[in-house]
Each structure stands twice: as C-alpha cells, then as structure tokens.
Amino acid sequence: MKRKEFLAQVGVGAAIVLSPICFGSLSGCKKTSTEPANIDFTLDVSTGALSKNGGFLIKDGVIVARTNSGTFIAVSAACTHEGTNINYVASSNNFVCPNHNAQFSSNGAVTQGPANTNLTEYKTTLTSNSLRVFS
C-alpha cells in the first residue's frame, strides 16, 4: 500500500467514526446554549466592583456593570460565539469578548462579530444599596 492510499483510507475511517457525532443528532457539532435561565438575585452595591462607576462582576452566568453615568446593566456573561466570559468596557459602554473580540452594545446586541447572536438582557432595580437582577 502506498502512502497516499494509506492516508486516504485513514481519512475515510475518521469520517465514518465521527459522522454519528456530527450528523446523528446534529447536536455534537453545534454549540449548546450556556445562557442562564430564571435569573433573580440581589447584590450589595455599596462595596466591591459595583460600588464605583465603570465596575463590573459576573454572578450566576450574568455580567452586571455600573456605567459611567451610574446606571446598572446586566446581560448574559457568555459570548454567544464560543462561550468565553465577556468583559465590560466602561469607556465605550459595551461588552467585549477577550477571545475573538466580538463586541456587544450595552443591551447585549451584537455590534461586531464573530458572534452573530445577541446576549440576553436582564432587568435591574436599585433600592438603596441593593441591586436586584432578574429575568
């Protein structure tokens, strides 16, 4: 058997082994959602990252940020491209994925790929120093 024939047969064998994973259920090659559901938690914003404008933190799969104007925003923390946790950039009031530089507006809309699906936006309500984040 020649080298070229051997490599061709190895390629066919790999395709046969992997085809049930990718084509059998179509879920093996598809990114699964890491989006949190039924969000409802409260944060103390008097201390920590959210006590200052421009700060952010991630809790229960949600990134919560305090804008430069002092308002609070919350979106799903996993980039919709490959699931990497995003960061909040206060100077541009947007979210950026450090992995492939996908960018999202303050309400989670895609503004630059490679992501092509928006982040989920969550509601926030501030009462004194308690910030409620919920679906």
Q: How far is CA 8 from the centre of its chain?
A: 39
Is residue 4 very low, low, confident or very high in pLDDT (cuts 50, 70, 90)? low
Amino acid (one-letter) located at 92: S
Sheet strands side by side (includes 40-44): 40-44, 130-134, 121-127, 72-76, 62-66, 56-59
Location of structure tokens 């630059």 = 112
Return all residues near 53 (Cβ < 8 A) that are at least 6 apart: 66, 67, 68, 69, 70, 90
Counting Cβ atoms within 10 Å, is residue 73 exposed (0-12), middle (13-18) or buried (19+)? buried
**How do residues 16-62 score in pLDDT, each as one tens digit?**
444 443 434 333 333 444 567 789 999 999 999 999 999 999 999 99
Which of 5-9, 14-18, 88-92, 124-128 is least confident?
A: 14-18
Mean pLDDT computed over every residue of the chain: 83
Return all residues near 117 (Cβ < 8 A) that are at least 6 apart: 80, 110
Give pLDDT, residue 6. 52
Is residue 122 very low, low, confident or very high in pLDDT (cuts 50, 70, 90)? very high
| Tokens describing residue 68 | 């430069």
Which of 32-41, 74-83, 109-118 is least confident?
A: 32-41
